[in-house]
Amino acid sequence: MGPRRVRLPLAPAPDGDLRINEAFVSLQGEGRLAGVPSTFVRVAGCNLRCAWCDSPTSSWRPTGERVELDAIVRACAQGPRHVVLTGGEPLLFPGMLELARRLRADGHHVTFETAGTVAPDDLECDLVSISPKLSHATPDHPVWGPRHEARRWQPQVVRRLMQHPWQLKLVVRAHDPARLVEDVREATDMIEALGVADGERERVLLMPECVDPARLSSDYAALVPLCTEHGFSLGLRLHIAIFGHTPGT
**What is each CA distance from 129 to 69, 124, 140, 142, 157, in whole angstroms?**
22, 13, 27, 30, 13
The burial of 76, by beta-carbon neighbours within 10 Å (0-12 exposed, 13-18 middle, 19 or more buried), is given as buried
What confidence tens digit (pLDDT) does each residue in 50-101 have? 999 988 899 888 899 999 999 999 999 999 999 999 999 999 999 999 999 9
Say how far apart CA 223 and CA 173 lie, in whole Å.
10
pLDDT reported for residue 67: 97
Domain at 6-243: CATH code: 3.20.20.70
CB 167 within 8 A of CB 114: no
pLDDT reported for residue 1: 38
Say how far apart CA 157 and CA 143 lie, in whole Å.
24
90 phi-psi bin (left φ>0, alpha ψ -120 to 50, beta other): alpha
Say how far apart CA 223 and CA 172 lie, in whole Å.
9
- Burial annotation 177-214 (CB, 10 A radius, 16+ → b, else e): eeebeebbebbbebbeebebeeebbebbbbbbbbeeee
pLDDT reported for residue 4: 53
pLDDT in tens for each of the 249 residues of the chain? Answer: 344 558 888 989 999 999 999 999 999 999 999 999 999 999 999 999 999 998 889 988 889 999 999 999 999 999 999 999 999 999 999 999 999 999 999 999 999 999 999 999 999 999 999 999 999 999 999 999 999 999 999 999 999 999 999 999 999 999 999 999 999 999 999 999 999 999 999 999 999 999 999 999 999 999 999 999 999 999 999 999 999 988 877
Overall pTM surpassing 0.85 (yes/no): yes
Domain positions in the chain: 6-243
Say how far apart CA 82 and CA 40 lie, in whole Å.
9
